[in-house]
Amino acid sequence: MSVAGLLWRGAATLAAPLLPLYLRSRAERGKEIAERLPERHGDGAARPPGPLFWFHAASVGETLSILPLLPVMLRGRPGLHVLVTTGTVTSATLLAQRLPADVAPRVLHRFVPLDVPAWARRFLDAWRPDAGAFVESELWPNLLAAAAERRIPMALVNGRMSVRSARRWGWLPALARQTLSRFDVVLAQSPGDAERLAALGGRPVSAPGNLKFAADPLPADPAALAAVRALTAGRPVWLAASTHPGEEAMIAAAHRILAPARPGLLTIIVPRHPERGPAVAAELGTASRRAAGAEPGPDATIHIADTLGELGLFYRLADAAVIGGSLVPHGGQNPLEPARLGCPILAGPHMHNFAEIVGALEAAGGIRRLAASPAALADAVDAVLSSPDYGRSMAGAAALVAAQQAELPERVAAALLPLLPAQDTEEGRVTVEA
């Protein structure tokens, strides 16, 4: 093990006595579920019989990206169950909401243990996965080391390595090489990600494509959609989707610029983290908040949609949408979500987390970029509201980009299923002594 790896293992072990306080603090702020905190220590296993494949998806984006993959994996291996670990409450909730009824009984969820060696060992010894995959850029050294000790085949799926992250890992080349060597299969999102992962890990990496291109459209409850459409009929509507702190004030300022020339204008803001709803409403001086029971009725001008899992509803409603996280240096949110639902896409300058996708959308004319200012935002929204043909052209081009690589889940599953043991040897992994 590298010196950096030993230091990380030692630091995590020394920090372990303090981490329960950290977890309880997060639970008090709604970042954890109090009764499920033992899972963060590696407890709470309930391994089903037969083969078990483990996916670790850090948060919402990673979790949603593997949803199209799960049915393919389950069809490809009779008797297979899938364990999905995540690190956020929102991702756990959305996973439960989005799993198809025929898939849900064979998919289990747990919160991932923190990267403490003893907790990682406890987790793996109880669950005994036959194979596993980390999604995108989750590279936890102690969890991966524990999996390697138990000879659990591992993959990196939809692997992402930004230029900035590659530069940081480059400061610890031995740790980077050691960590990436734990993966038997590395599947990158793009050729650029593959090149950076290969350089850090010293091994070939394939780039079959980005699973975010293969996701299903975000769902919407038909009754809720019909009700909101009836309330907003005839009004120009634009959406700020998955916003982050610092963006809502800019959006409200753009609304004030647009409103005099747009009678009935409705601006809908969906915070990335719904628990921010009350603070956002207080900042903007609006009482129209969906989680508090308000609807975007005729008296609402700025409506805060601070509920979970309803973004698909508002993309279907809006005449245009600006992507949250792009007006502040966060890196943006997934622009393919509005693309699949025919909603014209606007985005600020900070979309580096989705550079490949944004590049494809820009080349096709499926997205409009803008400066991070209320005036630029108002100008972009006004351009779409003023010309429905322009908006439809953008949406059509974006939909074609979003439809690319529809067969990618099958290709990824074909690379992952061979990591499982032959069907006549499925006894689960044995416990390794600490």
> Where do the domains of the chain lie?
3-210+407-424, 222-402
Residue at 311: amino acid letter: L
Number of helical (H) and strand (E) elements in the chain, helices listed first: 19, 12
Q: Facing residues of 303 across strands?
A: 268
Q: Residue 212 in contact with residue 238, Cβ under 8 Å?
A: no
- How far from chain centre, in Å, is Cα 136? 10
Phi, psi (rounded to 5 degrees) for 395? -65, -40
Task: Using alpha carbons, list the distances in angstroms from residue 395 to 133, 220, 337, 376.
Answer: 34, 19, 11, 20
Q: Residue 177 in contact with residue 145, Cβ under 8 Å?
A: no
* CATH number of the structural domain 3-210+407-424: 3.40.50.11720
For residues 261 and 252, give the distance between their C-alpha atoms in angstroms, rounded to a whole number: 15
Phi, psi (rounded to 5 degrees) for 407? -95, 10
Residue at 117: amino acid letter: P
For residues 105 and 433, give the distance between their C-alpha atoms in angstroms, rounded to a whole number: 32
Q: Residue 216's pLDDT is what?
A: 87
Are 3-210+407-424 and 222-402 in the same CATH fold?
yes
Query: Residue 218: which of 309, 86, 145 has the closest Cα?
Result: 309
For residues 264 and 381, give the distance between their C-alpha atoms in angstroms, rounded to a whole number: 15
Q: Residue 340 in contact with residue 312, Cβ under 8 Å?
A: no
Q: Residue 404's pLDDT is what?
A: 85
Put the strands of the sheet holding 185-188 in their side by side order: 107-111, 81-86, 52-56, 131-135, 154-159, 185-188
- Across 160-236, the runs of DSSP E, i.e. the strands, are 185-188
399 CB contacts (<8 Å, ≥6 apart)? 339, 340, 342, 366
pLDDT in single tens digits along all 434 residues of the chain: 778 788 889 999 999 999 999 999 999 999 999 999 999 999 999 999 999 999 999 999 899 999 999 999 999 999 999 999 999 999 999 999 999 999 999 999 999 999 999 999 999 999 999 999 999 988 899 999 999 999 999 999 999 998 889 999 999 899 899 999 999 999 999 999 999 999 999 788 999 999 988 888 999 999 999 999 999 999 999 999 999 999 999 999 999 999 999 999 999 999 999 999 999 999 999 989 999 999 999 999 999 999 999 999 999 999 999 999 999 999 999 999 999 999 999 999 999 989 889 999 999 999 999 999 999 999 999 999 999 999 999 999 999 999 988 899 999 999 999 999 987 655 444 445 44
Q: Residue 250 in contact with residue 330, Cβ under 8 Å?
A: no
Total count of residues recorded for the chain: 434
Q: Residue 1 in contact with residue 178, Cβ under 8 Å?
A: yes
For residues 142 and 145, give the distance between their C-alpha atoms in angstroms, rounded to a whole number: 5
Fold of 222-402: Rossmann fold (3.40.50)
**Of 28, 32, 35, 62, which residue is the catalytic one?**
62
- Active-site annotation holds for 362: no
Coil, strand or helix at 388: helix
Q: Residue 405's pLDDT is what?
A: 80
Handedness of CA 382, 386, 387, 391 (dihedral sign): positive
Residue with tokens 């009350």: 278
Q: What's the predicted TM-score (pTM) here? A: 0.81
Coil, strand or helix at 327: coil
Query: Residue 171: which of 200, 137, 141, 195 has the closest Cα?
Result: 200
Give 169: exposed, middle or buried? Use CB within 10 Å, 0-12, 13-18, 19+.
buried
- Across 318-420, the runs of DSSP E, i.e. the strands, are 320-323, 345-347, 368-369
Q: Residue 387's pLDDT is what?
A: 97
Q: Residue 131 in contact with residue 54, Cβ under 8 Å?
A: yes
CA distance from start to end of the chain = 16
Q: Residue 158 in contact with residue 135, Cβ under 8 Å?
A: yes
